[in-house]
Amino acid sequence: MKRLDSFRHQGLRRRLVDELMEKGITDKIVLEAIGKVPRHLFMDSSFVKFAYRDAAFPIGSGQTISQPYTVAFQSQLLKVNAGCKVLEVGTGSGYQAAVLAEMGVELYSIERQSSLYKKCKTLLSDIGYPKIRLFLGDGYAGLPGFEPFDAILVTAGALSVPRQLLLQLRVGGALVVPVGRNVQEMTRVVRLSDDEFEQQCFGSFQFVPMLPGIV
């Protein structure tokens, strides 16, 4: 992976990590992971020079690579340790997936757009993340047969908390999902028992919509 990285990129990443700390990200494991992932390799070529700005950018197919602050905020809310089994819904560019992989989790990620899924499959194995398990599918259904997960992260805006995903959490696990139409409320739902859940909100964010089906 580091073959395509440089001291200049590493320096820009250190500045990005400092910026995220100033904005309130405290989890050391998350900050270290952001400091390691070469975000410039996940960008559309027109935007590569902005790779270490704390902003979202288009990645083609009408989608975006999430803002580093949002990636860090969601990763922090998952409260996972190395070895935890995590499901991401919305692989997109693969950047958030790489950050989670650097945190040491066993990662499963689903994308509904076949063009993005294919692009990401090649990229992630080429740049040193061959262990991330990628799936083409509708994230509303989760990944039946691979549950339970210690945590599930949705990186697209859902109109309500997807019920199927709650049922694929182990007891004690958490689902982090942005909920809302134009603006989303970052929502964390913890599974307290087989049929009890506790929900908490963590402020407003903006995501592309979570859509049904595969295209």
Q: Which residues are designated catalytic?
A: 66
Its sign, for the CA torsion 72, 78, 80, 83, is: negative
Among 16, 20, 189, 210, binds ligand SAH (CB under 6 A): 210
Residue 191, classed as helix, strand or coil, is strand
Site for ligand SAH contains 168 (CB under 6 A): no
For residue 200, the surrounding DSSP H or E stretch is strand 197-205
Distance CA 67, CA 92 (A): 12
Site for ligand SAH contains 186 (CB under 6 A): no
Site for ligand SAH contains 75 (CB under 6 A): no
Residue 58 neighbours by CB distance under 10 Å: 13
Crossing angle of helices 95-102 and 68-78, in 10° steps, is 40
Site for ligand SAH contains 74 (CB under 6 A): no
Site for ligand SAH contains 161 (CB under 6 A): no
User: At closest approach, how far in Å is the CB of 179 from ligand SAH?
Assistant: 14
Site for ligand SAH contains 112 (CB under 6 A): yes
Question: Would you say 45 or 193 has its CB closer to ligand SAH?
Answer: 45
Token reading at 32 = 């270290």
Residue nearest to ligand SAH (CB): 92
Q: CA-based angle 201:90:104, to the nearest 5?
A: 80
User: At closest approach, how far in Å is the CB of 128 from ligand SAH?
Assistant: 16
Residue 117 neighbours by CB distance under 10 Å: 20
Site for ligand SAH contains 116 (CB under 6 A): yes
Residue 89, classed as helix, strand or coil, is strand
Among 138, 149, 166, 177, binds ligand SAH (CB under 6 A): 138
Which parts of this chain interact with ligand SAH (CB under 6 A)? 63-66, 89-90, 92-93, 95-96, 110-113, 116, 138-140, 155-156, 208, 210-212
